């Protein structure tokens, strides 16, 4: 093979590798957490469309009817009783965030560790607090506290009121996976700043939005992203929603519960 042929093969390989890395560095998000706060619970995007943009992530479903967990390219719906089933491709969502998970780094947790300590261990290893990170924690949990908001009916209440009637579940000695994101402080209102995690058990039959956990042992994998693709609804209640305000961080903390750990300032 001559030098020019070898160069062309190398250039093609490098371009393919770069395209693969770039494909995995984007978070695709439909709508904003601010819209959920204001009671925008009807979405005009399907699960099938969400899965076109990523194989890992979280969200909710129309009318807040279940927590969404996207793991290994499959979308699950966790109902208010804590049970999980595969979502239908035609199911719709008012809010979801997904990425193509690629582990930039991984580490093991070998002894019982609480939620805050796990978050600290991740924070010490990330490149910058100003980027987005998909977080996947697989292991055995001595105890894990979740919630699922009950399905809402029109006229929809704001999220802070909807979560007052949330159904809570405590898993003990459970194996499974935490799925979610660590989002920078400056994204508060677009996303949930800090750690936002959902749980799916190993059998993929139960889970929920994570409020707290005590990890007995497990493995943490982190996938960084430098791009955010934000897709906004173009019809319905979103157009008139109040998406900002001085109290938005307080309202998010109230709605998301103690699970919404805020990141330290960079």
Confidence class of residue 233 from pLDDT cuts 50, 70 and 90?
Answer: very high
pLDDT at 18 (0 to 100): 44
The pLDDT of residue 265 is above 50: no
Indicate if the alpha-carbon torsion angle 257, 43, 167, 161 is positive or negative.
Answer: positive
pLDDT of residue 97: 98
pLDDT reported for residue 120: 98
Taking the whole predicted model, whether its pTM rises above 0.85 is answered as yes
Quote helix, strand, coil % in the chain, to nearest 5: 25, 40, 35
Q: What is the C-alpha separation between 26 and 33, in angstroms, rounded?
A: 18
The band of 3, judged by pLDDT with boundaries at 50, 70 and 90, is low
Is residue 21 pLDDT above 50, yes or no? no
Average model confidence (pLDDT) across the chain: 90
Mean pLDDT lowest among 49-63, 100-114, 231-245: 231-245
pLDDT, residue 2, reads 61
Say yes or no to pLDDT of 10 above 80: no
Closest C-alpha to 64, from 92, 26, 24: 92
For the stretch 57-94, what's the b/e string if a residue is b when 16 or more beta carbons lie within 10 angstroms of its beta carbon? bbbbbbbbbbbbbbbeeebbbbbbebebeebeeebbbb
> Which tops the pLDDT comparison, 256 or 14?
256
Give residue 243's pLDDT: 85
Q: Which of the given ranges, 5-9, 73-77, 146-150, has the highest pLDDT on average?
A: 73-77
Model confidence band, residue 22 (pLDDT cutoffs 50, 70, 90): very low
What value does the mean pLDDT take over residues 216-222?
A: 98
Domains detected in the chain: 24-256 (3.30.1330.80)
For residue 212, what are the contacts with CB-CB under 8 A and spacing of at least 6? Answer: 114, 115, 144, 145, 258, 259
Q: Which of 108-112, 226-230, 233-237 has the lowest mean pLDDT?
A: 233-237
Q: How far apart are CA 105 and CA 49, in angstroms?
A: 29
**Would you say residue 261 has pLDDT above 70?**
no
Percent residues over pLDDT 90 in the chain: 76
Asked whether the bond before 154 is cis by omega within 30 degrees of 0, the reply is: no
Q: What per-residue confidence (pLDDT) applies to 23?
A: 44
What number of residues does the chain have? 266
Asked if 24 contacts 83 with a C-beta cutoff of 8 angstroms, the reply is no
What's phi and psi for 230, nearest 5 deg? -105, 115
Q: Is the pLDDT reported for residue 266 higher than 50?
A: no
Q: Flag the least confident range among 39-43, 59-63, 247-251, 262-266.
A: 262-266
**pLDDT at 145 (0 to 100):** 97
Residue 16 pLDDT greater than 80, yes or no:
no
């Amino acid at each position: 093979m001559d030098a020019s042929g070898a160069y062309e093969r190398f250039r093609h390989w490098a371009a393919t590798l770069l395209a693969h890395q770039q494909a995995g560095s984007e978070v695709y998000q439909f709508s904003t957490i601010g819209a959920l706060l204001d009671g925008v619970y009807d979405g005009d995007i399907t699960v099938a469309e969400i899965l076109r943009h990523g194989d890992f992530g979280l969200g909710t479903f129309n009318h807040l009817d279940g927590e969404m967990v996207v793991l290994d390219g499959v979308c699950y719906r966790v109902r208010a009783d804590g049970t999980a089933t595969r979502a239908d491709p035609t199911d719709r969502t008012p809010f979801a965030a997904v990425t193509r998970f690629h582990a930039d780094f991984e580490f093991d947790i070998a002894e019982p560790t609480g939620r805050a300590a796990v978050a600290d261990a991740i924070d010490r290893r990330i490149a910058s607090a100003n980027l987005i990170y998909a977080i996947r924690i697989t292991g055995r949990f001595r105890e894990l506290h979740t919630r699922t908001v009950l399905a809402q009916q029109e006229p929809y209440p704001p999220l802070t009121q909807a979560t007052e009637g949330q159904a809570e579940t405590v898993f003990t000695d459970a194996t499974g996976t935490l799925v979610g994101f660590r989002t920078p402080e400056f994204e508060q209102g677009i996303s949930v700043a800090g750690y936002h995690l959902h749980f799916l058990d190993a059998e993929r039959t139960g889970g929920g939005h994570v409020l707290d956990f005590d990890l007995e042992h497990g493995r943490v994998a982190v996938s960084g992203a430098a791009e955010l693709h934000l897709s906004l609804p173009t019809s319905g209640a979103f157009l008139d929603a109040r998406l900002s305000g001085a109290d938005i961080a307080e309202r998010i903390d109230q709605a998301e519960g103690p699970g919404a750990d805020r990141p330290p300032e960079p």
